[in-house]
Amino acid sequence: MARPGNKIIQAKLVLLGDMGTGKTSIALRFVKGHFFPNQEPTIGAAFFTQILSLSEATVKFDIWDTAGQERYHSLAPMYYRGAAAAIVVYDISSVDTFVRAKKWVQELQTHGNQKSVMALVANKSDLEPKREVEAEVGEQFAQENGMFYMETSAKTAENINELFYEIAKRLARALPPKPTGMNLNSDIQDRGRNYFCCSA
Q: Which residues bind other proteins (CB under 8 A)?
A: 15, 19-20, 23-25, 28, 42, 44-47, 49, 62, 64-69, 71-72, 74-75, 78-79, 185, 188-189, 191-193
Q: How far apart are CA 22 and CA 36, in angstroms?
A: 25
**64 with 13: CB under 8 angstroms?**
yes
Minimum distance, C-beta of residue 154 to other proteins, in the bound complex (Å): 8
Question: How many residues comprise the chain?
Answer: 200
Cβ distance to other proteins smaller for residue 64 or 104: 64
Cβ distance to other proteins smaller for residue 65 or 151: 65
Q: How far apart are CA 122 and CA 88, in angstroms?
A: 9
Minimum distance, C-beta of residue 67 to other proteins, in the bound complex (Å): 4
Nearest Cα to Cα of residue 2 among 157, 190, 158: 190
Cβ distance to other proteins smaller for residue 136 or 188: 188
Cβ distance to other proteins smaller for residue 109 or 189: 189
Nearest Cα to Cα of residue 5 among 55, 49, 50, 62: 55
Minimum distance, C-beta of residue 140 to other proteins, in the bound complex (Å): 28
Q: How far apart are CA 168 and CA 160, in angstroms?
A: 13
Minimum distance, C-beta of residue 148 to other proteins, in the bound complex (Å): 23
